[in-house]
Structures are given as structure tokens and as C-alpha cells.
Amino acid sequence: MSLLIKNGEIVTARERRFADIYCEGETITEIGENLDRSADEVIDASGKYVFPGFIDPHVHIYLPFMGTFSKDDYDSASRAALVGGTTTLIEMCCPSRSEEPRDAFKLWNSKAEGISACDYSFHMGVTGFDDSREEQLREIVEKEGITSFKVFLAYKGAFGIDDRELYQTLRLAKELGVVVTAHCENADLVAETQAKLVAEGKLGPEWHEPSRPVTVEAEGCSHLMAFAEMTGAEVYVVHTSCKPAVEAITSAKVRGVKATIETVIPYLILDSSYAERPDFEGAKFVMSPPIRSREHQDFLWKKLADGTIATVATDHAPFDFHTQKHMGHPDPEKAVDAKFNPLHRPADFTLIPNGIPSVEDRVNLLYTYGVTTGKIDLSTFVAVASTNAAKQFGLHPRKGDITIGGDADLVVYDPDYRGVISVDTQLMNTDYSGFEGVEIKGRPSATTIRGTVAARDGQFIGTPGLGKLLRRKTR
């Protein structure tokens, strides 16, 4: 199968140029002006940009959480990703503390293998540490090419780890050349604050953000930085939401700590008022760390522009509003059946499954709110949505770039498209959109995965099961 993309403006993290791209055997084989090539498929990209396939380095597809399971599977999520221009997903493999790493990896991979229409990999969750788990983690890195771990400094008693386990995980990561991705909050402060608010009768979703204020996120970041400094391990802080957290990380980097900062698209588009919407509508926007007030959003955009924040992911965690989010409804008549209540007590905001579905919308929202407003330029857009993640997680130059020999993952992007995001048209398998009614300026007119067109003008036309598990390089 050969593919020729003609007359487009190629945009990468390092350059812009008008040229044609010829692809054969799943890779890019030639780039040049006015290529005289016959091909099985020709795409005229006149008036359009050609970007490298976008990479979402932080998604949850299969996720047991709060007594329920996320609604997407790799069929629906990979379709949605490709229509939105994302060609590679890196999922958080999140075993419980009682699960063995080897078994968890096999389970998570079984949910994607032979099903996903786009390429994928995993961050291997570490939710406990002993000699047996260390042996299994070494095996997963060596045999499967999974070169990043995930730790939670939150969700105590579920995914969270203690300081001894954190130290041992970072020590092992340093030895293996593995990056440790981390959810940074102070779990004890969150638990104490939540208990206090609930005792005061503050039960609705509007109290989620006050229960996890910027202070506990910044403390979690500082805590991780101290351990990274002690061990020399490289860390990557996921879904950073606020100025104090960014500042805690950047101050550590001045001291020589190897740390990279990720934010996610909901923090750049939404603000804390969304979680304060009446009639329990705010539950649609509950995620952790929470969506912050507008001044933090403005700060995050500035730090994207100057390179302080390296990547924009989604933390895609899809749960239905009318059933699953209602697990945390404080009105007993509106709450979901108590069998879903893991604590078997009256419901409140602490039982709302965390997450906002967004894997389909990330690229278009980042382009609309970032590029068209002048907050970031096109090359920064490509860097934070693709190239930086590829470099960070051992995929570059195979992914995240347009270069001869690289995978032919390409997005022909139409900047003149105008549309509106709606649950009625999305491919994500949830009963609501976190961005309902938002106008977008631009969308992919074609998305290719290794040279095969998988989406065109908002429609999936790809092949389920085409996606591959990617072996990644260590640092």
C-alpha cells in the first residue's frame, strides 16, 4: 500500500515547509517538492497543514474506579482518537494493590490487542513494591518494551503507595533507565479535608475542588521532587493543574532534578465554575486534581508557550453522567443503587468517578484555543501534542515527527473547518460531552496510521485491530 500526500504545508516541532510526502510499507520514504510518484492513494492537501500523528501520553481506556468501570473500550476509544487526529495512545495500566504487575499487564494488553485501530503502549502502574513485584517490573521493561512506570501519591488504600514503595520504585527506575510518571497530591491532606467537608454537610460536586486545593497538589509535587533528587530518577508529573505545582517542579529542576511537566486539555479550556453548576451538573467536570480557577488556566497557557510545560494530554477517563457519576449524588433518591457504593455509606462528592472524556477533542481544542488565539504557535502545538511525548517516552523519531524512515502516521488538517462539539456526534462511549456546544476552528480531514487512512472528515474508516503494541526505548 502506497500513499502520496501532495501540496500541503508540513508542520513539525522544528520547521514549516511546503512539500509532498510519499509513504510505502508503513513508513515515510520520500519528502520533497512536486514528487512525481504514482500511489495507491493520493491526498490533495492544498490549503491544509500536514502534521505528524498526535500522541496522547495519558489515557485511561480500561479503568476500574470507584466501584465501576470506564465506558470506553479500545474499539470506541481508538476510533475516537483517530477521528480527532491522535494516532498513538499511552494508557495508564492501573492494577489494585492486590494485583500482580505481570497479571495486570496481561489484562490491560488483552483489552487492546487485536482491537485497537491505533498504536498503543502503557505506563506500568506500581501500586506496591516487594521482591516479587520488582522481578516482574524488570521483566515487563525488558520483554515488553514498557519503559515508564506510574505511581499515585493519592487514592490511599487503592492505587496509592507509601514513601518506602516510592523510594524503591524510583531506585529501580533509575537503574533501568525508566521514566516514572506520577499523580502528585498529598493523600492524607485530601482525606482529612474531605472528611471535614462531608461532616459539615458539604456534599455536592462543588466541594470537590476545595477538598483538593492547590496546596495539596503543590505539596505532592514537592514530595516527589525530593525523592527524585535523592535517587537521581527521571520523573514526569501528569495532569499538572496550577501555578504552585508548576513552580514546585521548576524550582526542583533548577537544583538538577530531571522532571517534565504535563498538563491536560480540560485545565486549558474549563475552569472551576463548571464543577459548581447546579442540579448535579457539576459532577460531569469532577477530575483529580480538580479544574482550577481562571488565573491558573492563563498561567498554564503561558508556560506552554515558553516551554516550561512539555506536553498536553487528556487524562481521558470516560464515565457516564446519568449512572456512574450519580454514584456520588447526595440525594438518596437520585444516587445509583448502593451496590455500586464501595464504602456502603450515604453518597457525596467523594464517590463521583473522576474523569472527563476528551481523547476525541484534545487536538481540535488545543488548535482552536491555542493556535487560532495566538497563545501558542503551530510548531509549539505540534511539540506539546506529539513530538515531546514521543521523545519523552522512547518513540522518537519513529513517532512524533515527519521524517524519512519514520512511521507514516500523518494528519492532514483543515484550518477552515468550523463545527460544534456534541455528544450526539462523538465516538467516545459516554452519555455526555465535557465540551458540549464548544465551537471548534479546524479538524483533521484525514488521519493515517502507518500509511493507511483511518479517518476522513470526522468519520472513522480504519481497521479495528490494526494497532500495535509499541516497544519503547529506555532513557
| pLDDT, tens digit (0-9, with 9 covering 90-100), for 20-62 | 999 999 999 999 999 999 999 999 999 999 999 999 999 999 9
Please tell me the distance from the alpha carbon of residue 327 to that of residue 286, in angstroms, as a whole number: 13
Output Rg (C-alpha) for the chain, integer angstroms. Answer: 21
Give pLDDT tens digits for 8-19. 999 999 999 999
- What backbone phi and psi angles, to 5 degrees, belong to 345? -140, 170
pLDDT of residue 451 exceeding 80: yes
Are the C-beta atoms of 59 and 412 separated by less than 8 Å?
Answer: no
Percent above pLDDT 70 for the chain: 98
Task: Give the model's pLDDT for residue 337.
Answer: 55
Omega prior to 330 cis, within 30 of 0:
no
Main-chain dihedrals φ then ψ at residue 418, nearest 5 degrees: -130, 135
Distance CA 208, CA 269 (A): 18
Compute how many other C-beta atoms are within 10 angstroms of the C-beta atom of residue 425.
12
Q: What is the predicted pLDDT for the residue at 65?
A: 84
Per-residue pLDDT, averaged over 361-385, amounts to: 98
Q: Which three cell numbers stand for residue 90?
A: 499511552
In this prediction, residues 399-412 reach a mean pLDDT of 98
Residue 396: pLDDT above 70?
yes
Q: Which of 157-161, 197-201, 324-328, 341-345 has the lowest mean pLDDT?
A: 341-345
Give the whole-angstrom CA distance, residue 365 versus residue 384. 13
Q: Is the torsion defined by CA of 143, 146, 147, 149 positive or negative?
A: negative
Q: What is the length of the chain?
A: 475
The confidence score (pLDDT) of residue 344 equals 54
pLDDT tens for each residue of 213-261: 999 999 999 999 999 999 999 999 999 999 999 999 999 999 999 999 9
Do 378 and 49 contact (CB within 8 A), yes or no?
yes
Across the range 320-327, mean pLDDT stands at: 94
Q: What is the pLDDT of residue 349?
A: 96
Does the pLDDT of residue 339 top 60, yes or no? no
Complete domains list, the chain, with CATH: 53-371 (3.20.20.140)
Task: Round to whole Å and give the CA distance between 114 and 103.
Answer: 18
Q: Is the four-CA dihedral 370, 372, 373, 374 of positive or negative sign?
A: positive
pLDDT beyond 50 at 447:
yes
pTM above 0.95, yes or no: yes
Q: What proportion of the chain, given as a percentage, has pLDDT over 90?
A: 94
Instruction: Give me the chain's average pLDDT, please.
Output: 96
Average pLDDT on 132-152 reads: 98
Is the pLDDT assigned to residue 332 strictly greater than 90?
A: no
Q: Averaged over 105-131, what is the pLDDT?
A: 98
Task: Work out the burial of residue 98: count CB atoms within 10 Å of its CB; fewer than 13 is exposed, 13-18 middle, 19 or more buried.
Answer: exposed
- What per-residue confidence (pLDDT) applies to 338? 45
Q: Is residue 342 predicted with pLDDT exceeding 90?
A: no
Handedness of CA 68, 71, 74, 80 (dihedral sign): negative
Mean pLDDT of 320-326: 94
